[in-house]
Amino acid sequence: MKHYDTIPKFGEHIGLPIIAFDKLDGSNIRAEWTKKRGFDKFGTKKCIIDVDTPIFGKACTLIKEKYEDELAKVFTNKDNRDILNFVCFFEFLGLKSEFGQHSEDDEHTVTLIDVNRYKKGIVPPKQFLKEYGHLNIPKVIYEGNLNHKLREDIWNNVPLQNNTELIEGVVCKGLVHTKKNELVYMCKLKTKQWIDRLRNKVGEDSILFNDEKQYIV
Rounded CA gap, 177 and 17, in Å? 12
Task: Supply the pTM of this predicted model.
Answer: 0.95
Rounded CA gap, 150 and 189, in Å? 9
Residue 171 burial class via C-beta count within 10 angstroms: exposed 0-12, middle 13-18, buried 19 and up: buried
Contact 30, 45 (CB under 8 A): yes
* End-to-end Cα separation, the chain, in angstroms: 35
Residue 146 burial class via C-beta count within 10 angstroms: exposed 0-12, middle 13-18, buried 19 and up: buried
Rounded CA gap, 83 and 72, in Å? 12
Contact 15, 2 (CB under 8 A): no
CATH class in words for 25-137: alpha beta
- The pLDDT tens digits for 48-90 are 999 999 999 999 999 999 999 999 999 999 999 899 999 999 9
Least confident window among 93-102, 124-133, 139-148, 161-170:
161-170
- The pLDDT tens digits for 186-204 are 999 999 999 999 999 999 9
Q: What are the sequence ranges of the domains in the chain?
A: 7-24+139-217, 25-137
